[in-house]
């Protein structure tokens, strides 16, 4: 069995484009709105 350290060292690193997208405030805002909207809909459906 692999140890945790070996699995972490073998994990794929994010690409340059992925890092750029993660640091983009506009993209983060869109994801926040999408997640919030999904949670709001779930809350409304179950209450």
Domain map (residue ranges) of the chain: 11-46
Predicted TM-score (pTM) of the model is 0.60
pLDDT at 29: 97
The 3-state secondary structure of the chain reads CCCHHHHHHCCCCCCHHHHHHHHCHHHHHHHHHHHHHHHHHHHHHHC
The model's pLDDT over 4-39, given as tens digits with 9 standing for 90+, comes to: 999 999 999 999 999 999 999 999 999 999 999 999
């Amino acid at each position: 069995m692999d140890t945790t350290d070996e699995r972490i060292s073998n994990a794929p690193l994010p690409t340059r484009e992925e890092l750029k997208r993660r640091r983009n405030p506009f993209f983060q805002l869109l994801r926040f709105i999408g997640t919030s909207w999904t949670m709001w809909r779930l809350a409304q459906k179950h209450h």
